[in-house]
Structure 1
Protein backbone atom coordinates (compact mmCIF):
# COMPACT_ATOMS: atom_id res chain seq x y z
CA UNK A 1 0.00 0.00 0.00
CA UNK A 2 2.84 2.42 0.80
CA UNK A 3 4.48 1.56 -2.50
CA UNK A 4 1.27 2.24 -4.37
CA UNK A 5 0.84 5.57 -2.55
CA UNK A 6 4.44 6.61 -3.41
CA UNK A 7 3.82 5.65 -7.00
CA UNK A 8 0.67 7.82 -7.15
CA UNK A 9 2.47 10.79 -5.53
CA UNK A 10 5.41 10.39 -7.93
CA UNK A 11 3.06 10.26 -10.93
CA UNK A 12 1.24 13.39 -9.74
CA UNK A 13 4.55 15.22 -9.29
CA UNK A 14 5.67 14.13 -12.74
CA UNK A 15 2.40 15.38 -14.25
CA UNK A 16 2.76 18.67 -12.37
CA UNK A 17 6.32 19.21 -13.72
CA UNK A 18 5.29 18.29 -17.27
CA UNK A 19 2.28 20.63 -17.10
CA UNK A 20 4.45 23.48 -15.83
CA UNK A 21 6.95 22.98 -18.66
CA UNK A 22 4.15 22.86 -21.25
CA UNK A 23 2.59 26.08 -19.88
CA UNK A 24 5.98 27.86 -19.89
CA UNK A 25 6.55 26.92 -23.55
CA UNK A 26 3.05 28.00 -24.55
CA UNK A 27 3.33 31.40 -22.87
CA UNK A 28 6.77 31.97 -24.42
CA UNK A 29 5.40 31.19 -27.88
CA UNK A 30 2.30 33.35 -27.47
CA UNK A 31 4.04 36.43 -26.06
CA UNK A 32 5.07 38.87 -28.77
CA UNK A 33 8.78 39.53 -28.83
CA UNK A 34 9.83 42.54 -26.75
CA UNK A 35 10.88 45.26 -29.17
CA UNK A 36 13.44 47.72 -27.94
CA UNK A 37 13.20 51.14 -29.53
CA UNK A 38 16.37 51.65 -31.44
CA UNK A 39 18.26 54.90 -30.80
CA UNK A 40 18.59 55.61 -34.49
CA UNK A 41 19.77 58.67 -36.37
CA UNK A 42 17.24 60.07 -38.81
CA UNK A 43 19.34 63.01 -40.02
CA UNK A 44 22.49 65.00 -39.35
CA UNK A 45 23.76 68.41 -40.36
CA UNK A 46 27.28 69.75 -40.59
CA UNK A 47 28.24 73.38 -40.12
CA UNK A 48 25.07 74.31 -38.23
CA UNK A 49 24.40 78.00 -37.58
CA UNK A 50 20.94 78.79 -36.18
CA UNK A 51 19.71 82.11 -34.77
CA UNK A 52 16.48 82.51 -32.80
CA UNK A 53 15.11 86.02 -33.14
CA UNK A 54 13.21 87.98 -30.48
CA UNK A 55 9.78 89.44 -31.23
CA UNK A 56 11.49 92.82 -31.60
CA UNK A 57 13.53 91.47 -34.52
CA UNK A 58 16.79 91.40 -32.59
CA UNK A 59 18.79 88.17 -32.22
CA UNK A 60 17.97 86.34 -28.98
CA UNK A 61 20.05 83.17 -29.12
CA UNK A 62 22.45 81.65 -31.60
CA UNK A 63 23.61 78.03 -31.74
CA UNK A 64 26.57 77.04 -33.89
CA UNK A 65 27.91 73.48 -34.04
CA UNK A 66 30.37 71.56 -36.18
CA UNK A 67 27.88 68.69 -36.41
CA UNK A 68 24.32 68.10 -35.24
CA UNK A 69 22.91 64.55 -35.13
CA UNK A 70 19.16 64.06 -34.57
CA UNK A 71 17.65 60.85 -33.15
CA UNK A 72 14.12 59.87 -34.11
CA UNK A 73 13.18 57.73 -31.08
CA UNK A 74 13.36 60.50 -28.47
CA UNK A 75 13.69 63.58 -30.72
CA UNK A 76 17.01 64.42 -29.02
CA UNK A 77 20.02 65.99 -30.73
CA UNK A 78 23.73 65.50 -30.15
CA UNK A 79 26.09 68.38 -30.92
CA UNK A 80 29.80 68.39 -31.70
CA UNK A 81 31.67 71.54 -30.62
CA UNK A 82 28.55 73.57 -29.78
CA UNK A 83 28.80 77.33 -29.31
CA UNK A 84 25.80 79.05 -27.77
CA UNK A 85 25.46 82.85 -27.80
CA UNK A 86 22.90 84.49 -25.49
CA UNK A 87 22.28 88.08 -26.53
CA UNK A 88 21.55 90.83 -24.02
CA UNK A 89 19.70 93.99 -24.93
CA UNK A 90 22.35 96.64 -24.11
CA UNK A 91 25.32 94.56 -23.06
CA UNK A 92 27.81 92.27 -24.77
CA UNK A 93 26.44 88.75 -25.36
CA UNK A 94 27.34 85.71 -23.29
CA UNK A 95 29.23 83.05 -25.28
CA UNK A 96 29.17 79.45 -24.05
CA UNK A 97 31.39 76.79 -25.71
CA UNK A 98 31.91 73.10 -24.99
CA UNK A 99 33.30 69.89 -26.47
CA UNK A 100 29.94 68.15 -26.99
CA UNK A 101 26.31 68.76 -26.25
CA UNK A 102 22.91 67.08 -26.00
CA UNK A 103 19.62 68.89 -26.62
CA UNK A 104 16.33 67.42 -25.38
CA UNK A 105 13.54 66.87 -27.89
CA UNK A 106 11.46 69.70 -26.44
CA UNK A 107 14.41 72.12 -26.47
CA UNK A 108 14.07 72.75 -22.73
CA UNK A 109 17.44 71.28 -21.69
CA UNK A 110 20.86 71.60 -23.29
CA UNK A 111 23.64 69.59 -21.63
CA UNK A 112 27.09 70.91 -22.52
CA UNK A 113 29.56 68.15 -21.78
CA UNK A 114 33.30 68.21 -21.25
CA UNK A 115 35.24 71.42 -20.77
CA UNK A 116 32.96 74.48 -20.86
CA UNK A 117 33.91 78.13 -21.34
CA UNK A 118 31.55 81.03 -20.59
CA UNK A 119 32.71 84.46 -21.72
CA UNK A 120 31.38 87.99 -21.88
CA UNK A 121 33.43 90.88 -23.29
CA UNK A 122 33.93 94.23 -21.57
CA UNK A 123 31.89 97.28 -22.51
CA UNK A 124 31.35 100.71 -20.93
CA UNK A 125 30.03 99.98 -17.44
CA UNK A 126 30.34 96.20 -17.96
CA UNK A 127 33.24 94.14 -16.67
CA UNK A 128 34.51 91.22 -18.73
CA UNK A 129 33.76 87.74 -17.35
CA UNK A 130 35.54 84.47 -18.11
CA UNK A 131 34.31 81.24 -16.47
CA UNK A 132 35.79 77.75 -16.88
CA UNK A 133 33.96 74.63 -15.70
CA UNK A 134 32.67 71.24 -16.90
CA UNK A 135 29.34 69.62 -17.70
CA UNK A 136 26.94 72.53 -17.78
CA UNK A 137 23.16 72.22 -17.78
CA UNK A 138 21.49 75.01 -19.76
CA UNK A 139 17.82 75.99 -19.84
CA UNK A 140 17.93 78.13 -23.00
CA UNK A 141 14.46 79.65 -22.68
CA UNK A 142 15.28 81.00 -19.21
CA UNK A 143 18.92 81.99 -19.94
CA UNK A 144 19.83 79.85 -16.94
CA UNK A 145 22.93 77.63 -16.50
CA UNK A 146 24.15 75.40 -13.68
CA UNK A 147 26.89 72.91 -12.85
CA UNK A 148 28.06 70.82 -9.90
CA UNK A 149 31.66 70.82 -11.14
CA UNK A 150 34.58 73.02 -10.13
CA UNK A 151 34.22 76.62 -11.33
CA UNK A 152 37.03 79.09 -12.06
CA UNK A 153 35.87 82.65 -12.77
CA UNK A 154 37.95 85.68 -13.69
CA UNK A 155 37.04 89.32 -14.24
CA UNK A 156 39.97 91.68 -14.83
CA UNK A 157 42.34 90.87 -11.92
CA UNK A 158 39.64 89.34 -9.67
CA UNK A 159 39.41 85.58 -9.34
CA UNK A 160 36.85 83.23 -7.78
CA UNK A 161 37.00 79.45 -7.42
CA UNK A 162 34.06 77.35 -6.24
CA UNK A 163 32.39 73.96 -6.39
CA UNK A 164 29.11 74.28 -8.29
CA UNK A 165 27.33 77.34 -9.60
CA UNK A 166 24.02 78.68 -10.86
CA UNK A 167 23.82 81.70 -13.21
CA UNK A 168 20.82 83.66 -14.44
CA UNK A 169 22.20 85.37 -17.57
CA UNK A 170 19.40 87.90 -17.98
CA UNK A 171 18.95 91.26 -16.30
CA UNK A 172 19.52 91.43 -13.42
CA UNK A 173 22.37 88.93 -13.77
CA UNK A 174 22.77 86.71 -10.72
CA UNK A 175 25.53 84.23 -9.95
CA UNK A 176 25.19 81.78 -7.07
CA UNK A 177 28.31 79.85 -6.05
CA UNK A 178 27.35 76.66 -4.23
CA UNK A 179 30.33 75.47 -2.12
CA UNK A 180 34.03 75.87 -1.27
CA UNK A 181 34.10 79.47 -2.50
CA UNK A 182 37.47 81.20 -2.52
CA UNK A 183 38.17 84.57 -4.05
CA UNK A 184 40.90 87.11 -4.65
CA UNK A 185 39.94 90.71 -5.35
CA UNK A 186 42.34 93.37 -6.58
CA UNK A 187 41.78 96.88 -5.30
CA UNK A 188 42.92 99.62 -7.66
CA UNK A 189 44.14 102.79 -5.91
Structure 2
Protein backbone atom coordinates (compact mmCIF):
# COMPACT_ATOMS: atom_id res chain seq x y z
CA UNK A 1 0.00 0.00 0.00
CA UNK A 2 2.78 2.37 0.75
CA UNK A 3 4.18 1.82 -2.75
CA UNK A 4 0.85 2.74 -4.33
CA UNK A 5 0.49 5.86 -2.17
CA UNK A 6 3.91 7.04 -3.13
CA UNK A 7 2.88 6.88 -6.83
CA UNK A 8 -0.32 8.87 -6.36
CA UNK A 9 1.33 11.77 -4.53
CA UNK A 10 3.67 12.83 -7.43
CA UNK A 11 0.83 12.28 -9.94
CA UNK A 12 -1.52 14.49 -7.88
CA UNK A 13 1.16 17.18 -7.65
CA UNK A 14 1.70 17.05 -11.48
CA UNK A 15 -2.06 17.34 -12.09
CA UNK A 16 -2.27 20.26 -9.67
CA UNK A 17 0.67 21.98 -11.42
CA UNK A 18 -0.89 21.38 -14.86
CA UNK A 19 -4.22 22.86 -13.71
CA UNK A 20 -2.42 25.82 -12.13
CA UNK A 21 -0.40 26.44 -15.33
CA UNK A 22 -3.58 26.29 -17.45
CA UNK A 23 -5.31 28.77 -15.11
CA UNK A 24 -2.35 31.19 -15.13
CA UNK A 25 -2.10 31.07 -18.93
CA UNK A 26 -5.81 31.85 -19.33
CA UNK A 27 -5.79 34.66 -16.78
CA UNK A 28 -2.88 36.55 -18.40
CA UNK A 29 -3.89 35.95 -22.03
CA UNK A 30 -5.46 38.99 -23.77
CA UNK A 31 -9.06 38.55 -24.88
CA UNK A 32 -9.55 38.50 -28.67
CA UNK A 33 -11.08 42.00 -28.64
CA UNK A 34 -7.93 43.36 -26.96
CA UNK A 35 -5.57 42.08 -29.63
CA UNK A 36 -3.03 44.73 -30.71
CA UNK A 37 -4.80 45.29 -34.05
CA UNK A 38 -8.19 45.86 -32.36
CA UNK A 39 -7.00 48.29 -29.66
CA UNK A 40 -8.55 51.75 -29.64
CA UNK A 41 -5.59 53.40 -27.92
CA UNK A 42 -3.21 55.22 -30.26
CA UNK A 43 0.30 53.90 -30.60
CA UNK A 44 1.72 57.41 -30.78
CA UNK A 45 0.54 60.94 -30.07
CA UNK A 46 2.26 64.13 -31.22
CA UNK A 47 1.27 67.66 -30.29
CA UNK A 48 1.94 70.64 -32.56
CA UNK A 49 2.67 68.33 -35.50
CA UNK A 50 4.22 69.93 -38.59
CA UNK A 51 5.47 68.12 -41.71
CA UNK A 52 6.92 69.65 -44.86
CA UNK A 53 7.13 67.75 -48.14
CA UNK A 54 9.64 68.85 -50.76
CA UNK A 55 10.06 67.96 -54.41
CA UNK A 56 13.24 66.19 -55.66
CA UNK A 57 14.94 69.58 -56.15
CA UNK A 58 14.31 70.49 -52.49
CA UNK A 59 11.60 73.06 -53.16
CA UNK A 60 8.68 73.06 -50.67
CA UNK A 61 5.65 71.25 -52.12
CA UNK A 62 3.15 71.15 -49.23
CA UNK A 63 2.93 71.41 -45.46
CA UNK A 64 0.59 69.48 -43.16
CA UNK A 65 0.26 70.60 -39.55
CA UNK A 66 -2.13 69.88 -36.69
CA UNK A 67 -2.67 70.65 -33.03
CA UNK A 68 -2.55 66.91 -32.28
CA UNK A 69 -1.72 63.78 -34.31
CA UNK A 70 -2.72 60.26 -33.22
CA UNK A 71 -1.39 57.18 -35.01
CA UNK A 72 -2.95 53.71 -34.64
CA UNK A 73 -0.58 50.91 -35.61
CA UNK A 74 -3.15 48.10 -36.07
CA UNK A 75 -5.25 49.91 -38.67
CA UNK A 76 -2.37 52.20 -39.75
CA UNK A 77 -4.87 55.04 -39.37
CA UNK A 78 -3.67 58.56 -38.51
CA UNK A 79 -6.03 61.16 -37.05
CA UNK A 80 -5.40 64.90 -36.84
CA UNK A 81 -7.07 67.50 -34.62
CA UNK A 82 -7.32 71.04 -36.02
CA UNK A 83 -5.40 70.17 -39.19
CA UNK A 84 -4.04 72.71 -41.66
CA UNK A 85 -2.91 71.76 -45.16
CA UNK A 86 -0.88 74.28 -47.13
CA UNK A 87 0.04 73.73 -50.78
CA UNK A 88 3.18 75.67 -51.62
CA UNK A 89 3.50 75.30 -55.40
CA UNK A 90 5.23 78.21 -57.10
CA UNK A 91 3.26 77.79 -60.34
CA UNK A 92 -0.10 76.84 -58.82
CA UNK A 93 0.03 79.44 -56.05
CA UNK A 94 -0.66 78.97 -52.37
CA UNK A 95 -3.78 77.06 -51.31
CA UNK A 96 -4.57 76.37 -47.64
CA UNK A 97 -7.25 74.16 -46.09
CA UNK A 98 -8.29 74.00 -42.43
CA UNK A 99 -10.81 71.80 -40.62
CA UNK A 100 -11.80 70.47 -37.18
CA UNK A 101 -10.37 67.00 -37.80
CA UNK A 102 -8.79 64.82 -40.47
CA UNK A 103 -7.63 61.30 -41.20
CA UNK A 104 -4.61 60.42 -43.31
CA UNK A 105 -4.52 57.26 -45.45
CA UNK A 106 -1.83 54.68 -44.54
CA UNK A 107 0.22 55.58 -47.64
CA UNK A 108 -0.16 59.33 -47.01
CA UNK A 109 -1.62 60.02 -50.46
CA UNK A 110 -5.05 61.11 -49.17
CA UNK A 111 -6.08 63.48 -46.38
CA UNK A 112 -9.77 63.48 -45.43
CA UNK A 113 -10.68 66.83 -43.81
CA UNK A 114 -13.98 66.96 -41.90
CA UNK A 115 -15.97 69.56 -40.03
CA UNK A 116 -16.19 73.23 -41.03
CA UNK A 117 -13.59 72.96 -43.80
CA UNK A 118 -12.31 76.31 -45.10
CA UNK A 119 -10.07 76.51 -48.17
CA UNK A 120 -8.35 79.74 -49.19
CA UNK A 121 -6.56 80.34 -52.47
CA UNK A 122 -4.18 83.28 -52.38
CA UNK A 123 -4.62 86.04 -54.92
CA UNK A 124 -2.19 86.13 -57.81
CA UNK A 125 -1.90 88.25 -60.97
CA UNK A 126 -5.11 87.90 -62.96
CA UNK A 127 -6.99 86.03 -60.19
CA UNK A 128 -8.53 87.25 -56.98
CA UNK A 129 -8.37 85.39 -53.69
CA UNK A 130 -10.91 82.58 -53.32
CA UNK A 131 -12.68 81.19 -50.24
CA UNK A 132 -14.35 77.76 -50.24
CA UNK A 133 -16.47 76.30 -47.41
CA UNK A 134 -17.68 72.70 -47.08
CA UNK A 135 -18.12 69.99 -44.44
CA UNK A 136 -15.78 67.42 -46.03
CA UNK A 137 -12.80 67.77 -48.32
CA UNK A 138 -10.52 65.07 -49.72
CA UNK A 139 -6.98 66.31 -50.38
CA UNK A 140 -4.66 64.42 -52.75
CA UNK A 141 -1.35 66.24 -52.17
CA UNK A 142 0.76 64.23 -54.63
CA UNK A 143 -1.70 64.93 -57.43
CA UNK A 144 -2.40 68.57 -56.41
CA UNK A 145 -6.15 67.92 -56.26
CA UNK A 146 -9.00 68.69 -53.88
CA UNK A 147 -12.42 67.05 -53.93
CA UNK A 148 -15.54 67.94 -51.93
CA UNK A 149 -18.10 65.11 -52.16
CA UNK A 150 -20.78 67.29 -50.50
CA UNK A 151 -22.18 70.80 -50.75
CA UNK A 152 -19.71 73.64 -51.32
CA UNK A 153 -19.88 77.43 -51.23
CA UNK A 154 -17.19 79.30 -53.19
CA UNK A 155 -16.63 83.07 -53.14
CA UNK A 156 -14.15 85.30 -54.86
CA UNK A 157 -14.14 88.97 -55.91
CA UNK A 158 -16.53 88.46 -58.84
CA UNK A 159 -18.73 85.46 -58.01
CA UNK A 160 -20.57 83.47 -55.39
CA UNK A 161 -21.04 79.78 -56.29
CA UNK A 162 -22.90 76.91 -54.63
CA UNK A 163 -22.75 73.30 -55.81
CA UNK A 164 -23.52 69.75 -54.69
CA UNK A 165 -19.89 68.64 -55.20
CA UNK A 166 -16.58 70.00 -56.44
CA UNK A 167 -13.16 68.99 -57.77
CA UNK A 168 -10.19 71.34 -57.93
CA UNK A 169 -7.05 70.74 -59.98
CA UNK A 170 -4.40 73.05 -58.52
CA UNK A 171 -1.90 72.48 -61.34
CA UNK A 172 -4.34 73.68 -63.99
CA UNK A 173 -6.25 75.95 -61.57
CA UNK A 174 -9.56 74.48 -62.76
CA UNK A 175 -12.63 74.04 -60.55
CA UNK A 176 -15.24 71.51 -61.67
CA UNK A 177 -18.66 71.89 -60.02
CA UNK A 178 -21.26 69.12 -60.23
CA UNK A 179 -24.80 68.42 -59.09
CA UNK A 180 -27.08 71.35 -58.42
CA UNK A 181 -24.99 74.44 -59.23
CA UNK A 182 -26.02 78.04 -58.49
CA UNK A 183 -23.86 80.95 -59.61
CA UNK A 184 -24.18 84.65 -58.89
CA UNK A 185 -21.96 87.16 -60.64
CA UNK A 186 -20.90 90.16 -58.56
CA UNK A 187 -20.25 93.22 -60.67
CA UNK A 188 -17.10 95.18 -59.91
CA UNK A 189 -18.90 98.47 -60.64
CA UNK A 190 -20.38 100.46 -57.75
Q: Same fold (TM over 0.5)?
A: yes
- 1:35 aligned residue (27, 32, 39): 32
Q: How do 1:72-83 and structure 2 match up within 5 A? A: 72-83=73-84
Deviations along 1:11-42, one digit per CA (max 9) or x if unpaired, are xxxxxxxxxxxxxxxxxxxxxx9834323411
Corresponding residue number in structure 1 for 2:109: 108
Corresponding residue number in structure 2 for 1:130: 131
Shift of 1:50: 1.0
CA distance in 1, matches of 2:152, 2:92: 23
Corresponding residue number in structure 2 for 1:182: 182
Q: How do 1:60-79 and structure 2 match up within 5 A? A: 60-79=61-80
Deviations along 1:74-128, one digit per CA (max 9) or x if unpaired, are 2211000000001121453100100000011111221101110110121222321
Deviations along 1:131-187, one digit per CA (max 9) or x if unpaired, are 0011111222111121221110001141111111111112x1221111111111123
Q: Is the 8 A contact 1:91 1:123 kept in 2?
A: no
- Segment of structure 1 superposing worse, 100-109 or 119-128: 119-128
The count of aligned residue pairs is 156
Corresponding residue number in structure 1 for 2:17: none
CA distance in 1, matches of 2:32, 2:169: 42
Runs of 4+ in 1 over 2 A off after TM superposition: 33-37, 123-126, 186-189
RMSD in angstroms over aligned alpha carbons?
A: 1.8
CA distance in 1, matches of 2:93, 2:110: 24
Q: Is the 8 A contact 1:66 1:80 kept in 2?
A: yes
Q: TM-score, normalised by structure 2?
A: 0.76
Residue ranges of structure 2 left out of the alignment (5+ in a row): 1-29
Q: How do 1:143-182 and structure 2 match up within 5 A? A: 143-170=144-171, 172-182=172-182
